[in-house]
Structure 1
Amino acid sequence: MVLIPLLQRCIQLLSLPVYLLSYLGLWDPLCKKIFPYFMAKCSTIYNRKLFQQKKDLFSSLGEFAGTSRELRLLEIGTGSGANFQFYPPGCRVTCTDPNPNFERFLLKSISDSPHLHFERFLVASGEDLRPVADDSMDVVVCTLVLCSVRSIEQVLREVLRVLRQGGSLYFLEHVAADHSSWSYFWQQIYNPTWRYLGDGCCLTRETWKDLEKAGFSELKLRHIHAPLSWNPTRPHIIGYAVK
């Protein structure tokens, strides 16, 4: 369709300063610094809008606690720590994020979460979790992260490596809309510029397909429309996958 690339160019033209900064090699380091501030604000709004969905999703976390009854949890792309309020008391949390500039926001969330035990913060991408031992986690949590990783397939391989047998991945991700919908039409138009502005965030990933073929023994997944005002990230998947 000729209209899509034409409208993409219009959006890119409106965002010309960003593309110019990127060409000069200035945008990426700038984005890495300002993105945590933006996400800290957005996470507060997102948690308010999807409070019940998150509460329901994480309500079963305790069922995956190991023989010690302590839940060992690894969060990939922890960001500012927006999920901490939903974790059960006594949970032992290991945090990872590829952007070290999130740490100051993370420390604030840690101080506000005395019900949790924090093990460590690792500056690491989801594709490379080598500091985390094999079969060492009861649960891995990944929310609004798989949209921006370089390889979903590699992230899921790492998830399966660090999870103990019977452990679970909990996920909540925005995804591509139905291809016949207007939502998908606009996702395609915004996507090239959105990836620049959103630190690599992609609007058109069909993440459920990667989860289906990753090799989990059980997958509980459903598609929802997040209760957000008009927004190309409204289509979501939510659920968990058992190793």
Structure 2
Amino acid sequence: MEKAVVLFLRVSIQLLALPIYLLSFLGMWEPFCKKIFFPFLLEKLTASYNRRASGHKQELFGNLQEFAGPAGELTLLEIGTGTGANFQFYPPGCKITCTDTNLNFQRGLSKSMAQNQHLQFQRFLVAPGEDLNQVADSSMDAVVCTLVLCSVQSIEGVLKEVLRVLRPGGAFYFLEHVAADPSSWTYFWQQVFYPTWKLVFDGCCLTREPWKNLEQAKFSEIKLRHIQVPLYWAPVQSHIVGYAIK
């Protein structure tokens, strides 16, 4: 019965979003989404998300400086930088390499860089998290990835690259929305919204379980918690947060 209800509601939402599905069928939605819609939407949503998740981010990044190199300098790689939503939480003097697959975030990213002059921005790389070949082995003290694993092609591939570029003893920081408890109403709505959400939000998957990938990766230590972020306007309240040490 539940599966039938999910299917009925899923089709209903797809009918409401029919213009987007038609644009997608014609090959017009993806370029419009990547170039205009999603960058605009992400910039607007970032401020709202940071207000609700700021406590978690402050706690998460509070010990970043502890992973600095022998000279006290912290070299950090951020995967899927977007509009720079995490910059304000990084320690002063942090040397950052930014990566993303979408150059259309540049307006919001440039604004965030100008507002966070306590940081040292090294370079911006157009690269997916699964292929960071422009970054040398064992060259980073820390790697950060927030709200990105939901849309990558391969979580395993990303974690493999993270381990490669981290120096021994370096840390991978993460904050990701994940699949809710299967017995919850949130999970029910995740199932309902899944196809349309993924189309509208540039490949974002609502029901991934990246904590399983992290547990299977070859980190020496993982500190991970399941939390709820009060995003009542969307089925993405369930998150994991923490860091893993190489």
Q: 3-state DSSP class of the match of 1:156?
A: helix
Q: Which residue of 1 aligns with 2:70?
A: 67
- Give the number of aligned pairs: 243
Secondary structure of 1:118's counterpart equals strand
1:87 is aligned to: 90
CA distance in 2, matches of 1:114, 1:231: 33
| Offset, 1:231 | 2.3
Counterparts of 1:1-243 in structure 2 under 5 Å? 1-33=3-35, 34-243=37-246
Q: How far has the Cα of 1:229 moved from its partner?
A: 2.0
State the TM-score, normalizing by the size of structure 1.
Answer: 0.98
Q: Secondary structure at the match of 2:116?
A: coil
| Displacement of 1:228 | 2.1
User: Separation in 2 of the partners of 1:148 and 1:177?
Assistant: 17
Structure 1 counterpart of 2:100, one-letter code: D
Displacement of 1:76 = 0.3
Q: Deviations over 1:175-199 (max 9, x none)?
A: 0001111111110010100000110
SS in 1 for 2:193: helix
Q: 1:230, CA displacement in angstroms? A: 4.3
| Runs of 4+ residues over 6 Å off in structure 1 | none
Q: Matched residues in 2 for 1:35 and 1:228: separation?
A: 18
TM-score normalized by the length of structure 2: 0.97
Distance 2:160 2:240 in 1: 19
Residue 160 of structure 1, CA deviation: 0.4
Q: Give SS of 1:59's match.
A: helix
- Partners in 2 of 1:39 and 1:147 — Cα distance? 15
Structure 1 unaligned blocks of 5 or more:
none
The one-letter code sitting in structure 2 at the alignment partner of 1:49 is: R
Cα RMSD after superposing both structures: 0.8
